[in-house]
Amino acid sequence: MSKQWFNEKEQVKTKVPLLISLWLVKVFPLPVVCVIVFPISFFYFLFSKRARVEIRRFQNQMKTFTGGHIPHNPSIYKTIFSFSLCLVERIAGWIGKIDEEDIFYNDDDIDDYWDNLKNGQGCFLFISHLGNSDLIRSLSTFSKAGFEKVVPVTVIMEIKSSEKFNNILKSVNPDYELTALDPSDITPETIISLQEKIKNGEIVVVAGDRISARTSNRVIKTKFLGKKANFPYGSFLLASLLACPTYFCFGLRDYPVMIRPVNAVYMHRSDIDFTDCRRSERDERVTQLCESYVMTLEKYCMWFPNQWYNFFDFWKEGE
């Protein structure tokens, strides 16, 4: 029987593989590390039945949704290898081996986003487990936007579900612990604190494609790739409470298995406004925000099908 992601134990039971990965990324050029990752990802492909099953489930659902027309020839191994490269890039971003010159910014709403930050306006970012969102938030300056400024980022995430990996990140980035907030720790006082952060021009980030272990009964059911799935009500409610510019942000590799990848940032501003939202209208607008996010996520899934890293039954209990 398929489990929800939060019922799965952390796959890595020891820090040794992560420490070895950190050492490799520190010592060798990234293309060399990516070559080393190739046989490791093939081993994972052979022995992780759950990953193969869930990747196939996702790809079959996409084929049904698109009538069989999916670009970039998706495959189970390409997804696993792409995921391995993503983990390497996460570590490289946090230790400073990937800088802003390695990132391509698209001509979408990125200028609107930067303009808000320049003007001291905080933002709320919805990310996903499609592609490498960690690469985005590991960047500390926005010099390409014409100014040098460190913008504090608060990331809301299930810290305990990937505790070992998070501890490794803390060892290379001492600020990591200060900028990560577990959903279980959110209280009315926390929301007031987040509102203050937004007023001070900071960024709040949350994944919109994973429900919380502690609020799995509070979900928004909406169709994703043609079949109903559960999305986290609390994440979209938080956006309504902060009532600030809200963006859907994706960090994606142009080609999933390139040794020297081109990473691109896609930024879309939500047109759902909560600044004048009455309490009686809030739930309706929260649902609209979720549906808008899901439609955007669908589009990028179809463009980058090998970079979907939710290795569990995404549609379980959605119907």
> Which residue type, as a one-letter code, is found at position 222?
T
Q: Tens digit of pLDDT for each residue in 38-86?
A: 888 888 888 889 999 999 999 999 999 988 777 777 889 999 999 988 8
- Asked if the structure places residue 317 within a domain, the reply is no
- Asked if the structure places residue 112 within a domain, the reply is yes
Report how far apart, in Å, the C-alpha atoms of 197 and of each of 120, 124, 232, 247, 271 are: 11, 11, 22, 17, 22
- Do the beta carbons of residue 140 and residue 202 sit within 8 Å? no
- Asked if the structure places residue 314 within a domain, the reply is no
Q: Tens digit of pLDDT for each residue in 86-145?
A: 888 888 877 777 767 778 888 899 889 988 888 889 999 999 999 988 766 655 455 555
- Asked if the structure places residue 283 within a domain, the reply is yes
H/E segment holding residue 220: strand 219-224
- Asked if the structure places residue 272 within a domain, the reply is yes
- Asked if the structure places residue 229 within a domain, the reply is yes
- Asked if the structure places residue 299 within a domain, the reply is yes
Q: Tens digit of pLDDT for each residue in 248-267?
A: 999 998 876 666 667 888 99
- Can you tell me the distance from the alpha carbon of 24 to that of 31, in angstroms, rounded to the nearest whole number? 11
- Do the beta carbons of residue 220 and residue 233 sit within 8 Å? yes
Q: Which two tokens stand for residue 142?
A: 């926005």
Q: Which two tokens stand for residue 298?
A: 């669908």
Domain span at 228: 5-307
Report how far apart, in Å, the C-alpha atoms of 108 and of each of 137, 226, 264, 266, 318 are: 18, 26, 12, 7, 32
Please, which residues have CB within 8 angstroms of residue 15's CB and are 6 or more apart in sequence? Answer: 164, 167, 168
Residue 202 backbone dihedrals phi, psi, to 5 degrees:
-90, 175
The structure's pTM equals 0.88
Angle at which helices 233-242 and 188-199 cross, to 10°:
50
- Cβ neighbours of 42 (radius 10 Å): 14
- Do the beta carbons of residue 77 and residue 59 sit within 8 Å? no
Domain total of the chain? 1
Please, which residues have CB within 8 angstroms of residue 11's CB and are 6 or more apart in sequence? Answer: none
- Asked if the structure places residue 150 within a domain, the reply is yes
- Do the beta carbons of residue 311 and residue 129 sit within 8 Å? no
- Can you tell me the distance from the alpha carbon of 76 to that of 52, in angstroms, rounded to the nearest whole number? 6
